[in-house]
Structure 1
Amino acid sequence: MTDTKVKKSGLEFEVPEGWDKKGLQELCLKPIVYGIVQAGPNVSEGVPYLRSTDVGGEINIDGLMKTSFIIAKKYSRSVVKPGDIVFSLRGNIGETSIVPNDLKEANLTQGTARISCNPYLINSHFLKYSLSNSEVHRSIIRLAKGSTFQEISLNELRKIKVPLPPLPEQRAIAQVLGKMDEAIQTTECLITQKELRKKWLMQNLLTGKMRLKGFSGEWREVHLGEFFSERNETRHIELTLLSIGQSGIYPQDESIKKDTSNADKSKYKRICPGDIGYNTMRMWQGRSALSDLEGIVSPAYTVISPKENADSQFFAYLFKTPKLTHLFWRNSQGLVDDTLNCKFKDFSIVKVVLPQTREEQTTIARVLQIADQEISLLKSKADKLRKQKKGMMQVLLTGKVRLKLN
């Protein structure tokens, strides 16, 4: 790669020597058009069409709606074929997808537009990346108008300027970014596999269907009150205010949510490492988390402290399972879901089948923690790859860095 200085000013920018700038319509074989205005009811054996919600990433062919052949024929001007780019005009404005080879023919709606690239001028994959690059994408968003909903007009879209390197360089850039996409997709597939494996482990280990080596005793049905007591300690205003969310328990000042806590925190409850905090009105929705911090939480939460026979990490996993959330719902008090409360007295009488020893609880929890760590590492890897790709797009698609071609 070699560095090249590029100047820019608003929507206009200078491009490196050997590059050009052209409007989208100049790069197309056919007019940029939108599609069907009224597609009518879904016709199972009809012609598939693409809505704005279908655009972004790979097109899910099996999930496409279909219109009648009569309606499709009226809109023959907006037929899309493999290799065409579908552009979202509204909603997720600027999102794009390339029509795959398996989708031999389809149509559009009023919320999507067809961009049929002239292969002698531009590579469709290069253009797709260019349209999603921050500089071009920002110009697209700025041109969107509308009071009820935002939308970019076809006239504005047709005039969008994109930097245009020679075709060999376009192909090389698209290939490099395509490799990044492949790496991201492979990592995301591994994440999905690991998450499914963790789900399977939870379904089997937390129910006793599968036993880990070294454990054989029968599980027994017990009340949760035999394993937890309520911590109802208040007037600890000197402690850090904590927030309980899906990702765990963390200081409120690290939360992206607005702080809606009361100025008077004398009634806020103390929570300690190893305790579990749960939303008293939302325990049946799985709103609970294990704490590794000491602090105070809103009175809207119930804080439970494990007894000597309980491994709180094991129970943190158990409380997220569908069976347990259903039991919490059944034992909550209230006339309708929005007023249900699972106070400690209700929580404590819930019956569950559990291992006889804390050692087995701890071993099960450790297996699930390892599964979580594997998922976390892969998610971190995927994030790094996405950031790396974003950085590469910013320099390759503007010509700030040039690829050396063979």
Structure 2
Amino acid sequence: MGVMLGYKQTEVGVIPEDWNVEKLGSHATFRTGPFGSALHKSDYVYGGVPIINPMQIVDGKLVPTLRMTISASAAQRLSEFRLCAGEVVIGRRGDMGRCAVVEPSADGWLCGTGSMIVRPKATLDGRFVQRVLSDTRTVAAIEAASVGTTMINLNQGTLSNLLIPLPSRRAEQASISEALSDADALIESLEQLLAKKRQIKQGAMQELLTGKRRLPGFRDAWKLKPLGSFLAIRHGKSQHEVEAIDGQYPILATGGAIGRASAYLWAQPSVLIGRKGTIDRPQYMDAPFWSVDTLFYSDVHAPNSAKFLFYRFCLIQWKQYNEASGVPSLNAKTIEQIEIEAPQPDEQAAIASVLTDIDREIQALEGKLTKARQIKQGMMQELLTGRIRLV
């Protein structure tokens, strides 16, 4: 297949004709962080000048640690390692591609031993090169250059010789990084909205499931009852005889679905909880399922109570009922004897409905967030190779 008109084949793939393949070292200089011996125990203070090691580079941002800071005098002594706004700091050890642009608020912070400073020249936009360095293709190229080493340790030579596709105009570099920043802003806003919605749900659970707040139309007193009076206990069974790749029913274990089954063990709304290991992650099922290594409770005593009990299970600190010194374990009888205050079935159903609606909103936001991340990933693939050009 030929190359599209206006594009050319290069060492790094197909790029626009007016782009170049350049060594990063032709457009930037580098400074490795100071040796550990350059910092002394007396240099470290609480709340001083932040040191940026790989652990302080999180999702393309610099996140300082208050206990990983040094005095102003020590920072002055190591001035050649201090960061300037517009530069890029990248981790040299561990996961490659962990890098961030130095914002004005981080000007003067110190590059740590495990990091390296990339100082762009006038021909290179810092935000653009940060995107390139965090791209999966660049990470793969760095890892390939480190084959044969026991641990990938990025050095100045590898980074200097790194070939990158580069728009000849700095303005186009800036436009690409700005478009990706807009995608980041959307993702961040969705993350914040999702976190807020989860907090709202947690607050609603704490109030509605304990009777601190009542829904309109309900006034009957709540009664203290053991969990065994609501749900009947059942045990999971081995899945070997019913496992099937194209099975119609999920096989549920303590961590979630682990396969498919050709038959179901139970078909009533149920609350599942692990017997060993993961004992504090209740699951809810209202469709036929097979279960292994779990205890599950079905609403044979009180119709429509299973969803209410599922949310109520989520409030219980299950580890306090652990009955083993090694792997955390739960005993069915112990669970059945736990007492909770609960309303009449109609109020249980109303509470469960409110919380279910919040869950649906959370799921919708999670879907939007997943899609936004996928779109951003696609944008990086297209924009950083010039397959899509910005006006």
TM-score by length of 2: 0.86
Measure the CA separation in 1 of the matches of 2:88 and 2:67.
Answer: 16
- AA aligned to 2:154 is I
Q: Paired residue for 1:144, among 134, 143, 146?
A: 146
Specify the alignment match of 2:336 in structure 1.
Answer: 348
**Partner of 1:33 in structure 2?**
32
Mark the runs of 5 or more structure 1 residues left unpaired by the alignment: 255-267
Q: Cα distance, 1:390 vs. partner?
A: 1.3
- 1:393 pairs with 2:383: no
AA in 2 matched with 1:98? V
AA aligned opposite 1:377: A
Question: What are the superposed Cα offsets for residues 29-62 of structure 1, whole Å, 9 maximum, x if unpaired?
Answer: x433233424445412532110101113222246
Query: How many Å separate the matches in 2 of 1:112 and 1:136?
Result: 17
Q: Which position in structure 1 is the counterpart of 2:362?
A: 375
Given that residues 273 and 283 in structure 2 are in contact (C-alpha distance below 8 angstroms), is that contact kept between their aligned partners in structure 1?
A: yes
Write the letter of the residue equivalent to 2:289: G
Which secondary structure does the structure 2 equivalent of 1:243 belong to? strand
> Of the candidates 183, 208, 212, which is equivalent to residue 180 of structure 1?
183
Whether the aligned pair in 2 keeps the contact of 1:3 and 1:400 (CA below 8 Å) is no
User: Residue 257 of structure 1 aligns with which residue?
Assistant: none
How far the C-alpha of 1:362 sits from its partner, in A, is 1.2
Whether the 8 Å CA contact 2:186–2:372 is kept in 1: the answer is yes
1:200 positional shift: 0.9
| Separation (CA, whole Å) in 1 of partners of 2:208 and 2:72 | 52
Q: TM-score, normalised by structure 1?
A: 0.83
Q: In the alignment, which of 131, 134, 138 is matched to residue 132 of structure 1?
A: 134
Distance of aligned partners of 1:393 and 1:279 in 2 relative to their CA distance in 1, 3 Å threshold:
same
Matched, 1:244 2:246: no
**Aligned-residue CA RMSD (Å):** 2.8
Asked if the contact 2:267–2:286 (Cα under 8 Å) also holds between the matched residues in 1, the reply is yes
CA distance 1:40–1:369, shift in 2 (3 Å): farther
Structure 1 residues 94, 144: CA separation in 2 closer, same or farther (over 3 Å shift)? farther
> Residue 127 of structure 1 aligns to a residue in which SS?
helix
Q: How many Å apart are 1:244 and its aligned residue?
A: 2.9
Q: Which deviates the most, 229-238 or 54-63?
A: 229-238
> Hey, what's the Cα distance between the residues in 2 that align with 1:3 and 1:191?
44
What is the CA-CA distance between 1:241 and the residue it aligns to? 6.2
Deviations 1:158-196 (A, max 9, x none): 211221111121122122111111111111111111111
CA contact (8 A) 1:84 1:115 kept: yes
8 Å contact from structure 1 (residues 48, 107) kept in 2: yes
Q: Which residue of 2 aligns with 1:294?
A: 288
Distance 1:159 1:26 in 2: 9
Give the Å deviation of 1:270. 2.7
SS in 1 for 2:164: strand
Q: What amino acid is aligned across from residue 116 of structure 1 in structure 2?
A: R
**Is 1:3–1:401's contact at 8 Å kept on the other side of the alignment?**
no
User: Residues 392 and 230 from structure 1, CA distance in 2 versus in 1: closer, same or farther, beyond 3 angstroms?
Assistant: same
Residue identity over aligned pairs, in percent, reads: 23
Query: Given the superposition, is the C-alpha separation of residues 44 and 102 from structure 1 closer, same or farther in structure 2, using an over 3 Å criterion?
Result: same
Shift of 1:137: 2.5
Match in the other structure for 2:15: 15
Q: How many residues align?
A: 376
Question: 1:227-266 to 2 correspondence within 5 Å?
Answer: 227-232=230-235, 237-238=241-242, 240=249, 242-245=251-254, 249-250=256-257, 252-253=259-260
Indicate conservation of the 8 Å contact 1:61/1:103, yes or no: no
- Distance in 2 (alpha carbons) for counterparts of 1:131 and 1:253: 41
Aligned to 1:333: 323
SS across alignment from 1:270: coil
